[in-house]
Structure 1
Amino acid sequence: MDGSGRYKLRNVEDDRLSNLPDDLIHKILYDASIKHVMATSVLSTRWRFLWASTPYLNFSTEEFPNLPEFSKFVNHVLSQRNNLLPVFSVKLTFSEMVSEEFVKRIMDYGFSHNVQQLAVTLLPEEKVITDFPLSLINSKSLKHLTLNGRNYCCAHDRITSTWELPALTTLHLNNVILFCYDTTSLFSKCVNLKNLTLSDCYVGGRGIGICHSQLSDLTLINLECDCYNVVAPQLKNLTLRNYNVSPRICAPGLASLIIQQRYSCELISKDGFPALDKADMNMLYPLKSNASKILAQIQLLHNVKFLTLNLEIIQCLSSCVELISHQPCPFANLKSLKIYPQDAYWFDDPKNKVTISTQVINYFLDSSPSTTFTVISNKCFNYNED
């Protein structure tokens, strides 16, 4: 094919894209930064002002040599964009120190245009903003909020129980300090919250209370606080990883539970999770001295149908079989018991043989003879017939 043929083919492809409706083109460019979206204006007259109607605003300081250039660009976009059109999402990425006033201007623009999704990321650079007051976020339209901090992004005591986001359904906070006088009701006025994730966060004050009638998914990872209580009648999925205090959970509708803890864990529940379908409990270094607590924790899951435990837990219970020797099996609904080694390399070494008690295994299986019992890796296990 000669040069003119390639040119015609390229024109046909360009025309196909140009003939798409504006909203579809905007969706195709959803993940692109607004700087790259604006660059399409040189393609043809069809594309010249297309960027001005995009509902997706993605700003990043990384694309500019300095903050004055970034600020100038942002001001240009906000002043030239079609002011009559709504904004669906705003993504902000900062790798340098920016002023609260500057951030507020961008957010206020989004809020005044009924933004539904907001994501703020603070990159791990030396001069990045470290104080990001969540009090800047005040919207009646916002449904999804994600804040990724940098080694604890501070959100100081300007946060109060009046932090109102009535439309919010999904909240993700990572590396954020929540420090105010009353964190027990921090999210209480986010009345439609359904999905909440707190990862690597520190909670000051009197701890945190998560009480939501609509909450269905809750994930707490490396959460540091003095205490926390969860009251969520509609909660279906709960993930707890590396917590430093015993959470009190009231979730009668809980269907899925994942617990991952380094040494031992303690979960407090008044109802025993009557609707529990799946549970996965993982402890890397369960101590023999904590065996009774571990057993009590497992007994809370007696309604579960599909139970997964790491081998270290079974090994710990096998060293204290007297704890279960006179107790009936409480797992009447159990359909599957799965055991796997947390430290697979250690257990797969022929030198490290592990003896697990059949009495412990039977404790889980006796009330459900048809239960499927699976050991993920059994190369070096010895079963002790008690």
Structure 2
Amino acid sequence: MKRTRRIARIERESMERDMENLQDRLSDLPDCVLHNIMKFMNAKHVVQTCVLSKRWKNLWKSSLNLTFDSSDFLWVPVFNNFVSRVLSCRDNSMSIHSLDFRRKGCIGPKILHEIMTYAASHDVQQFTINVNLVLKQDFMLPSCIYNCPSLKSLKLYFWFPYAFATHIKLPTSFNLPTLETMYIKHVTFSENENGCVEPFSSCNMLNTLVIDHCYLLNATKPIHISNSKLSNLTIRSFRGDGVTYEIALSTPNLSEVTIQGFPDHKLSSMCNVPNLEKVKIEVTWYESFPTNHVVLISMLQVFAKVKILTLSWKTIKTLNDLLSTSSFRTQLPAFVRLRTLKLKMKSFSTMSNMAVREMVEYLLHNSPATNVDVLKCCKCSTLYPLGI
């Protein structure tokens, strides 16, 4: 009995020594390593590290990465108060590498303005907003955020902002010289003093742009996407309030494009696109919408020099209808550089294999030897030459 107790005591003391050594090793790590650990934690958990030891008591105040997520809180006022307290207690001499603010449920613009102002004044590099913003009047983003010289990544996701017929307005031009990536959702573009809509031309380092469910205040004006560095562009359901309008591309280094959703826009290009590699047209057309053919032709004409082209089932069906009309048939471009055509087919479709093959053959009649890649039910068939 005594022997058993003695062994248990020795094991307990050994475990306590191991825990003390582990704590000492953790405390001996430099601040940069501990801050890197905090990078993978939400702000709530980062602040809670202050109870671990004296070493951690004020360490959270100099954290370079902040992630605010309302799902960690039961009550909205508690979450809003937590955000304000963290920002006010943080070491103001420290810059911010990334700030991510996610809010489930509705918020007003006041706290959003506070976060954006704080981020911009602390040289933020990566800034993400994902909120359901309820407005009683139009809201203009604080000028500090679109004039932030340190910003490299900007992601603005706004949900249901039109409940009160209001708009989240973007500036007529972004002055972000180091910005490389931009994602924007449910925001409104407007024209500048010269009557042009050209918001991205001053973003000299912009490489990736995603425009998702955005709105054009004056749908009679074309929006110009002008940027010499842009290589990756995604447009999802760019809406013009039911009016077909134009997007003019001036992007000579464009290499990859994705068009998704319900397109209400025609495309045009103001420059050559010699580096265009991949294009995906994965859209859902309005039934009996009169401009479907015009919109699709404008896309194909702009992307005529692509090397890899992916078409969704709805696009294939619309293209097949288009080819039945001689006036539209003559407007199709020649895909002189196309190497692979990918078709996303439904398992059960109303189009026969013969109709699909005739459509593909006509589409590629001026193309080089092209592989056709047929995808069904998320599974891809083997590549095979078209043989024409």
Shared fold (TM-score, shorter chain, > 0.5): yes
Quick one: percent identity of the two aligned structures?
A: 24
Cα deviations across residues 188-228 of structure 1 (Å, max 9, x unaligned)? 22232110011233333234221111101001122213321
Counterpart residue number, 1:331: 367
Cα deviations across residues 86-131 of structure 1 (Å, max 9, x unaligned)? 11111112235544343222222221111101100115xxxx5356
Map 1:1-386 to 2 at 5 A.
2-123=11-132, 128-130=133-135, 133-136=140-143, 137-138=145-146, 139-152=148-161, 156=167, 158-174=169-185, 176-182=186-192, 184-205=197-218, 206-225=221-240, 226-242=245-261, 243-249=263-269, 250=271, 251-263=273-285, 265-268=296-299, 273-274=304-305, 276-284=306-314, 286-287=317-318, 288-291=320-323, 299-311=333-345, 315=351, 318-319=354-355, 329-334=365-370, 336-341=371-376, 364-366=386-388
Cα deviations across residues 328-370 of structure 1 (Å, max 9, x unaligned)? 9322253x321233698xxxxxxxxxxxxxxxx98x433xxxx
Query: CA separation of 1:314/1:245 partners in 2, compared to 1, >3 Å: closer, same or farther?
Result: farther
Give 5+ residue unaligned stretches, structure 2.
Answer: 1-7, 286-291
Describe the SS at the equivalent of 1:46. Answer: helix
How many residue pairs match? The answer is: 342
1:156·1:179 contact (CA, 8 Å) conserved in 2? no
1:86·1:113 contact (CA, 8 Å) conserved in 2? yes
1:163·1:187 contact (CA, 8 Å) conserved in 2? yes
CA distance in 2, matches of 1:4, 1:203: 70
Q: CA deviation at 1:234?
A: 0.5
Cα deviations across residues 311-344 of structure 1 (Å, max 9, x unaligned)? 479957944988899999322253x321233698
2:95·2:124 contact (CA, 8 Å) conserved in 1? yes
Q: CA deviation at 1:171?
A: 0.5
Query: CA separation of 1:77/1:321 partners in 2, compared to 1, >3 Å: closer, same or farther?
Result: closer
Cα deviations across residues 148-192 of structure 1 (Å, max 9, x unaligned)? 221346883753323322221100113x13143457212222232
TM-score, normalization by structure 2: 0.75
Q: Which moved more, 1:144-153 or 1:207-216?
A: 144-153
Q: CA deviation at 1:298?
A: 7.1
Describe the SS at the equivalent of 2:197. Answer: helix
Counterpart residue number, 1:381: none
CA distance in 2, matches of 1:316, 1:204: 43
TM-score, normalization by structure 1: 0.75
Give 5+ residue unaligned stretches, structure 1.
Answer: 345-360, 367-386
Amino acid paired to 1:307: L
Describe the SS at the equivalent of 1:85. Answer: coil
Counterpart residue number, 1:378: none
Describe the SS at the equivalent of 1:267. Answer: helix
2:337·2:367 contact (CA, 8 Å) conserved in 1? yes
Amino acid paired to 1:178: T
Describe the SS at the equivalent of 1:227. Answer: strand
Q: CA deviation at 1:269?
A: 6.3
Counterpart residue number, 2:5: none
Describe the SS at the equivalent of 2:282. Answer: strand
CA RMSD of aligned residues (A): 3.5
